[in-house]
């Protein structure tokens, strides 16, 4: 299983590569927009940039990646492109292709048609999360349309993955956000600028008695876990080829690099045949684990997988 890690600068890409990432995904700052971009991300999130600042920086990052035999995945995955911006979108992608990116991620059939009409020399194309397939028929359709990789939603079962694998698309899953505002998926729909937009990644409901007394904030889904480490072995066995970690806008790239290193070590131990319990014991002895701001919450219940389904009653 390949680790796909985010980066927005030369400093950050070096940290991700050193931590064990084999592919880097990134977006490019588009000057004409105040906030939104052609890569479906706000330019700043909590005050931190989410994009590579300019073409010179992008070129330097591509060179660093090639020196280390790491692939670059360019994000052009806006789910909708207003007609007035279609030509600008094509130029956005063209600039990235000219510096030698290896993959292109898009998230709409509209974008695919635009790019095919442009006659650009397209690289391998990944279907982003907005094009995540819901059944095997959509997987076949994406394959026939020319996609080579697809982002798998967390609502898919392992049993379904067995049949999807035979179609021949590489399959990517999201790593360090197992749940979100939609049960079983993580779409990161909330707005960093307007707090009232979106439910966020930690959806919860306040439960009150008939007298008005607040009992507690009840998670609608198990939203206390930020990893799917325990299920990596199963995912690898059923054909998931890559795991994509979230965090282009991470305030501390060093912390995120530690998360990448955590996944790298877990995958390597999986290849060696260690059980979940053995992996936890080995990794808890590593000093790296306890100098991180992101502290892993290892458990023996697989709370973040299909084996654990919390109910309202269990909390009350």
Tens-of-pLDDT digits for all 316 residues of the chain? 999 999 999 999 999 999 999 999 999 988 777 777 898 887 777 778 889 999 999 999 999 999 999 999 999 998 889 999 999 999 999 999 999 999 999 999 999 999 999 999 999 999 998 888 989 999 999 999 999 999 987 667 788 888 999 999 999 988 765 433 333 344 444 444 555 544 444 444 556 777 877 765 544 333 334 466 777 888 888 888 999 988 888 888 888 898 898 889 889 999 899 887 788 777 776 644 555 444 555 555 444 443 334 433 333 3
Give the up-direction half-sphere exposure of residue 87: CA atoms within 13 A in the CB hemisphere: 1
Going along the chain from its start, the domains and CATH numbers come out as 2-193+222-315 (3.20.20.70)
Listed residue (117, 41, 29) closest to 79, CA to CA? 41
137 Cβ contact list (under 8 Å, min separation 6)? none
What is the token pair recorded at 96?
Answer: 């990235």
Within 68-211, strands assigned E span: 71-75, 103-106, 124-127, 149-151, 170-174, 204-208
Q: 150 near 132, Cβ under 8 Å?
A: yes
DSSP-assigned letter for residue 188 = -
- Decide: residue 262, CB within 10 A, 0-12 exposed, 13-18 middle, 19+ buried: buried
Whole-number Å distance between alpha carbons of 246 and 218 = 25
Do the Cβ atoms of 305 and 231 come closer than 8 Å? yes
Count the Cβ atoms, other than its own, within 10 Å of residue 174.
23
């Amino acid at each position: 299983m390949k680790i796909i890690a985010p980066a927005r600068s030369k400093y950050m890409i070096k940290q991700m590569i050193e931590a064990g990432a084999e592919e880097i995904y990134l977006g490019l700052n588009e000057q004409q927009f105040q906030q939104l971009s052609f890569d479906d991300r706000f330019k700043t999130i909590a005050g931190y940039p989410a994009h590579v600042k300019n073409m010179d920086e992008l070129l330097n990052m591509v060179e660093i990646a090639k020196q280390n035999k790491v692939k670059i995945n360019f994000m052009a995955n806006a789910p909708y492109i207003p007609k007035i911006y279609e030509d600008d979108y094509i130029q956005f992608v063209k600039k990235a292709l000219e510096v030698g990116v290896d993959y292109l991620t898009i998230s709409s059939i509209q974008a695919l048609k635009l790019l095919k009409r442009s006659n650009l020399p397209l690289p391998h194309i990944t279907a982003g999360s907005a094009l995540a397939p819901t059944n095997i028929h959509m997987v076949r359709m994406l394959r026939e349309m020319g996609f080579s990789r697809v982002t798998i939603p967390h609502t898919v079962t392992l049993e379904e993955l067995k049949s999807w694998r035979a179609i021949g698309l590489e399959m990517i899953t999201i790593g360090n956000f197992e749940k979100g505002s939609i049960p079983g998926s993580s779409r990161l729909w909330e707005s960093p600028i307007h707090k009232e937009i979106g439910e966020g990644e930690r959806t919860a409901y306040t439960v009150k008695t008939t007298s008005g007394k607040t009992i507690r904030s009840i998670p609608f889904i198990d939203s206390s876990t930020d990893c799917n480490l325990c299920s990596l072995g199963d995912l690898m066995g059923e054909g998931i080829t890559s795991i994509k970690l979230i965090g282009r806008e991470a305030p501390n790239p060093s912390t995120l690099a530690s998360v990448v290193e955590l996944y790298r070590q877990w995958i390597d131990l999986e290849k060696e045949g260690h059980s979940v319990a053995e992996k936890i014991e080995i990794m808890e002895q590593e000093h790296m684990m306890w100098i991180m701001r992101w502290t892993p919450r290892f458990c023996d219940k697989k709370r973040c997988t299909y084996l654990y389904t919390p109910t309202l009653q269990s909390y009350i």
